[in-house]
Amino acid sequence: MNSRSLQTTIIFLVVGGILALSLGGFFGSASRQFNSVLIDIQTWFSSRFTGLQDFITAPRDIVSLRNRNAELETQVSQLQAQVIELQQRVNETEILAALVDFSRSNPESTYKAAAVIGRDPSPFLHYIIINRGSNDDIRRGMPVVTNQGLVGRVDAVIADAARVQLITDPASSVNVYLQNAETSAVAFGSVTGDISLDMISQNSTVESGDLILTSGLGGGYPSDLIIGQVVTIRSLEFELFQQATVQPAVDFTRLEIVLVITNFRPVDITPLEPLPSP
Amino acid sequence: MRNLIAYPLLGLAVIFQSAIISQVKLISGYADLPLMILAVWALQDRVKSAWHWAAVTCVMVGFVSSMPWPVVAAGYLGVVYFAQILQRRVWQAPLLAVFSVIFLGTLFIHLLSFAVLRVSGTPFAFDDVIGLITLPSLLLNMLFSIPIYALVRDLARWVYPFEEYE
């Protein structure tokens, strides 16, 4: 080994030793400053390299990201459709569960569930159309209910559909009794879809909140079906009867599934009604 | 043969009316899609089948609705009658004619419905019917008549092409 190469080797060893000692923290603050300079330099190079790498590979990534984004958007739209469908099923299931509870708590009647598929095209009439008809043993006059209370009765039937007159129809009248007042009355529908009570005896004490149930008189409806609650009472001394407005138990604007009571046969009392004297 | 489009079109209109439009209420009134289609169709100068369309509408609406069928029949045939009269007089302003026919037709059908239901024993108050049903329905019919006019006019041009008409 000649003197020059020996000198080079020694220089390398010295510098290497100083570096090793410096990195090992043996030089105190001088070592930390040296380290921080090194780290700053490395950081600078690293960030520049990362930037360069991003610049070179970015177009490819954008294309792949766009494709991936499109795939994910497709998946999201599919999942949203599924969520909507499942929400509809959940709503339907909740309604059906409530109706099943109602039918279990009223085992004396037999029920047939039907979906509401339309309403009368005329704004003068409050009728709904259901998807069960004579093929499902639905007959004219059968009462229609929900778990909340009375909805109406079947007015016309075809093979796979039926038309139901709601108790809010202006031509509808239902014989009822007020549970707390223990008096009978008649519930009438109206143009606006509100229900009002009439024919309440002046001797009865009616209060706001009194529960209204079908009385079964007249044979058109079974007894003890809930109609609603009294909201306001109008009592004038010179009138024969008191009147009241009713808060219906059923939300008639959101009817989706109803139950038809199939073991009830309405009684036609028309022949028993007295004829008007000439 | 193209006139047979009346059956699916009016069938869909009645289904649409029963399932959707009857639930879009303004107070207690709602639009009458079959009436609007019929009125605009009858006002098209090339159309020769308005009475047939009216008959089809009467049968379909009469089948779905609980309204006595003479009211439905007289109402929709009356709309075509109004349209035929106005078509000859205000033919240069078709949209004005559409508004006029729909206005008159709605009033006619509602007054007829009110009269017949009242006579048959339904307790209606005239003020309630006008304020809660007829005026809101008129407003909705007027609003919806503009897009219906554009659609039915294009349909009439397809059913009765200009060359064939000439």
- What is the residue extent of each domain of chain B? 2-165
CB-CB: which of B66, B110, B128 is closest to A127? B66
Q: Kindly state whether residues A53 and A126 are assigned to the same domain.
A: no
Q: Kindly state whether residues A219 and A129 are assigned to the same domain.
A: yes
Residues in chain A with CB shorter than 8 Å from the CB of B27 are: 192
Helix (H) or strand (E) holding A243: strand A241-248
Report the distance separating Cα A68 and Cα A76, nearest Å: 12
Residue at which a domain ends, from A18, A40, A59? A59
Neighbours of B13 (CB within 10 A): 23
* B 45-64 → A contacts, CB under 8 A: 61, 64
CATH number at residue A246: 2.40.10.340
This complex has an ipTM of 0.89
pLDDT in tens, A228-245: 999 999 888 888 899 999
Q: Kindly state whether residues A53 and A132 are assigned to the same domain.
A: no
Q: Kindly state whether residues A258 and A127 are assigned to the same domain.
A: yes
Whether the per-residue pLDDT at A269 is higher than 60: the answer is yes
Report the distance separating Cα A192 and Cα A252, nearest Å: 12
Helix (H) or strand (E) holding A257: strand A257-261
Whether the per-residue pLDDT at B22 is higher than 70: the answer is yes
Judge: B22–A119 Cβ closer than 8 Å, yes or no.
yes
pLDDT in tens, A120-135: 999 999 999 999 999 9
The CA R_g of chain A, rounded to the nearest whole Å, is: 41
Structure tokens at B27: 């107070």
Q: Kindly state whether residues A253 and A118 are assigned to the same domain.
A: yes
**Percent of chain B at pLDDT exceeding 70:** 94
CB-CB: which of B18, B125, B129 is closest to A121? B18
pLDDT for res B166: 44
pLDDT for res B92: 67
- B129 lies within 8 A of chain A by CB: yes
Structure tokens at A79: 């999942």
More confident call, A166 vs A240: A166
Report the distance separating Cα A100 and Cα A79, nearest Å: 30
Residue A77 lies in a domain: no
pLDDT for res A45: 79
**Percent of chain A at pLDDT exceeding 90:** 42
pLDDT for res A82: 92
Residue A273 lies in a domain: no
Contact (CB, 8 A) for A157 and A148: no
Report the distance separating Cα A219 and Cα A211, nearest Å: 21
**Which of B58, B65, B126, B141 to probe the A interface (max A CBs under 10 A)?**
B65
Residues in chain A with CB shorter than 8 Å from the CB of B124 are: 124, 170, 191
Residues in chain B with CB shorter than 8 Å from the CB of A188 are: 123
- The mean pLDDT value for B14-42 works out to 92
Compare all CA atoms of chain A with the CA of B116 and give the residue at the minimum distance: A124
- The mean pLDDT value for A71-81 works out to 93
Judge: A122–B34 Cβ closer than 8 Å, yes or no.
no
Please work out, in degrees rounded to the nearest 5, the angle formed at the alpha carbon of residue A80 by the alpha carbons of A79 and A85: 95
pLDDT for res A150: 93
Please work out, in degrees rounded to the nearest 5, the angle formed at the alpha carbon of residue A194 by the alpha carbons of A190 and A195: 85
Whether the model clears a pTM of 0.80, i.e. scores above it, the answer is no
**Which of A129, A191, A253 to probe the B interface (max B CBs under 10 A)?**
A191
What domain range is A158 assigned to?
111-265
pLDDT for res A17: 80
In three-state secondary structure terms, A240 is coil
- The mean pLDDT value for A65-70 works out to 89
Whether the per-residue pLDDT at B144 is higher than 50: the answer is yes
**In the structure, what pLDDT confidence band is assigned to residue A1 with cuts at 50, 70 and 90?**
low
pLDDT in tens, B45-89: 888 888 999 999 999 999 999 999 999 999 999 999 999 888 877
Residue A87 lies in a domain: no
Report the distance separating Cα A61 and Cα B107, nearest Å: 66
Compare all CA atoms of chain B with the CA of A164 and give the residue at the minimum distance: B66
Neighbours of A15 (CB within 10 A): 10
Compare all CA atoms of chain B with the CA of A117 and give the residue at the minimum distance: B19
More confident call, B15 vs A27: B15
Q: Residue count of chain A, please give it.
A: 278
Provide the terminal-to-terminal Cα distance of chain A, rounded to the nearest Å: 149
* B 90-119 → A contacts, CB under 8 A: 110, 113-114, 117
Report the distance separating Cα A172 and Cα B95, nearest Å: 40
Judge: B123–A188 Cβ closer than 8 Å, yes or no.
yes
Residues in chain B with CB shorter than 8 Å from the CB of A119 are: 18-19, 22-23
pLDDT for res A36: 78
More confident call, A108 vs A25: A108
Q: Kindly state whether residues A231 and A133 are assigned to the same domain.
A: yes
Number of separate domains in chain A: 2
Residue A215 lies in a domain: yes
